[in-house]
């Protein structure tokens, strides 16, 4: 079955540590996205990528970094500069990046601080 796989499901970060969240898709989609979801807030866009080796900052990119070396993969690194990293992180993809493109989401990674 085609879909988006996020791992791990749960992740704990120590003070000053960088952690990387994995996102893989086998939908052959060009565009991929990272969203952050906090309780009582709407989804907020961190980074997105339309094609391999290219990505753009979203609304809350500070303290995060990404890479897009393969079409299928879009890992997110939460750096030590992100002072409030506890959240539910969602990876998504879409066939293109135009109007009316619906998003396909992974099952998310819950990141907590130790």
Partner 1 sequence: EDQVTQSPEALRLQEGESSSLNCSYTVSGLRGLFWYRQDPGKGPEFLFTLYSAGEEKEKERLKATLTKKESFLHITAPKPEDSATYLCAVQAPGGGADGLTFGKGTHLIIQP
58 binds partner 1 (CB under 8 A): yes
User: Which residue of 45, 52, 60, 61 would you call a contact of partner 1, by CB under 8 A?
Assistant: 45
Site string for partner 1, 81-100 (x = CB under 8 A): ---------xxx-x-xxxxx
31 binds partner 1 (CB under 8 A): yes
24 binds partner 1 (CB under 8 A): no
Place of tokens 């135009």: 98
Which residues contact residue 107 at a Cβ distance below 8 angstroms, ignoring those fewer than 6 apart?
6, 9
Q: What is the 3-state secondary structure (H, E, C) of the chain?
A: CCCEEEECCEEEECCCCCEEEEEEECCCCCEEEEEEECCCCCCEEEEEEEECCEEEECCCCCCEEECCCECCECCEEECCCCCCCCEEEEEEEECCCCCCCCCEECCCEEEEEC
43 binds partner 1 (CB under 8 A): yes
User: Which residue of 7, 20, 107, 112 would you call a contact of partner 1, by CB under 8 A?
Assistant: 107
User: Which residue of 19, 48, 78, 111 would you call a contact of partner 1, by CB under 8 A?
Assistant: 48
Shortest CB 23 distance to partner 1, Å: 11
State the residues that interact with partner 1 by CB under 8 A: 4, 6, 31, 33, 40-45, 48, 56, 58, 90-92, 94, 96-108, 110
């Amino acid at each position: 079955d085609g879909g988006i796989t996020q791992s791990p499901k749960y992740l704990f970060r120590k003070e000053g540590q960088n952690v990387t969240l994995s996102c893989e898709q086998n939908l052959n989609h060009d565009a991929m996205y990272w969203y952050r979801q906090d309780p009582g807030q709407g989804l907020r866009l961190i980074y997105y990528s339309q094609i391999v080796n290219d990505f753009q900052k979203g609304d809350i990119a500070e303290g995060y970094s990404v890479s897009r070396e393969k079409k299928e993969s879009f890992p997110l690194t939460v750096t030590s500069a992100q002072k409030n990293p506890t959240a539910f992180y969602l990876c998504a993809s879409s066939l293109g990046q135009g109007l009316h493109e619906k998003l396909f989401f992974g099952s998310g990674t819950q990141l907590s601080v130790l």
